[in-house]
Amino acid sequence: MDLRAPDYSDQFHCLAGACPHSCCKGWEVVIDSSTADFYRTLPGPLGDRLRAALQTEDGEDFFALTETLRCPFWDADGLCEIHRLLGSEHTSEVCRSHPRFIEDYGTLRETSLCASCPEACRMLLASSSPLTFPLFRTDEAGEPADPWLSPLLAVRAKSLEILQDRSLHLYSRFAELLAFAGAAQSLLDEDAADRLPELCRAWITPSASAQPTGGNLFPHGWEILSGLEILGSDWRALLLRGPEAVPGTVPAPLLERIAAYFLFRYELKAINDGDLLGRMQFAVFSVLTVERTASLLPLREALRLYCREIEHNDENLDALLTVFRTDPTLVPASFFQVLEP
């Protein structure tokens, strides 16, 4: 099996008790079935407390949070009592893997570090160099690869090449990414994924005058985000200030790295439903949103809040992909208007 992850992944270490925004507070702690079974049979006082905290709803096990929205096993020193007394192998799977998102594509496994984690966010923004995603080969056998995997890998490689061409204005690169994704989407819609590699080889940057214009991406984007499920009052307050936000306060190399982060995590997911263009719109929209909110608070915090609210909520992600297909204000033409240099 091939393994791929961002180039800073190996240096990641959880800040544990030093984390300024612990994942042990404010998050529902989902407990996987094998861990829940272990807790239900563990003897002694700790086992009793684990069973008292464990709840089940719609077939899913989780810990009921305290009145202060803390995991009941998060110690005052900021460390996990279960980890300390039983070892990390007996914490829930979601606790062991966070902030990693792991995707298996048959013969390929990709791991990203969600920027909702303060340390992962810091590492993403700690460099101005182009973000890379090294590939490692292992002897582990994977499942048979989907026929779309190889063509979509070629599309993503070309997307990153376009994104990281620093001879062009960043917004011009974003516009080209949308045009490229539109051309690739047409081939997917024709069930011609086998022609995607040739599209990548023959692609020529379109002229700016060839792009149509559309409606106002912002402030309508703030209304769309405000209509999604909201986890924290800090995000709600930030969205209310959205109309005050302006672009242009973030260095282009950092916005490029944020865009590469979103492309890496989401572009290959088109293998599941064929919606490549929607995922490109999501990536560009995410960067444009973070760029604007970074005029109201530090960039790290703007990115962390956005990722916390959107990336950990499948309903929010699905809702955004839907509006990119159905809302005339969020079609690619509206993006081209915003992205004119």
**pLDDT band at 289; cut points 50, 70, 90:** very high
Q: What is the pTM of this model?
A: 0.92
Q: What pLDDT is attached to residue 307? A: 97
Which one has a higher pLDDT value, 195 or 141?
195
pLDDT in tens, 243-254: 999 999 999 999
Q: What pLDDT is attached to residue 64? A: 84
Q: Which pair of structure tokens corresponds to residue 52? A: 């008292």
- What percentage of the chain has pLDDT greater than the value 70? 97
**Strand, coil or helix: what is 19?**
coil
Q: Which pair of structure tokens corresponds to residue 11? A: 């240096």
Q: Are 101 and 120 in contact (CB under 8 A)?
A: no
Q: Are 302 and 118 in contact (CB under 8 A)?
A: no
Query: What residue segments make up the domains of the chain, in order of their start?
Result: 24-97, 145-338
Indicate the range of 97-106, 121-130, 191-200, 277-286 predicted with least confidence.
97-106
pLDDT in tens, 215-243: 689 999 999 999 999 999 999 999 999 99
Q: What pLDDT is attached to residue 229? A: 96
Q: What pLDDT is attached to residue 22? A: 85
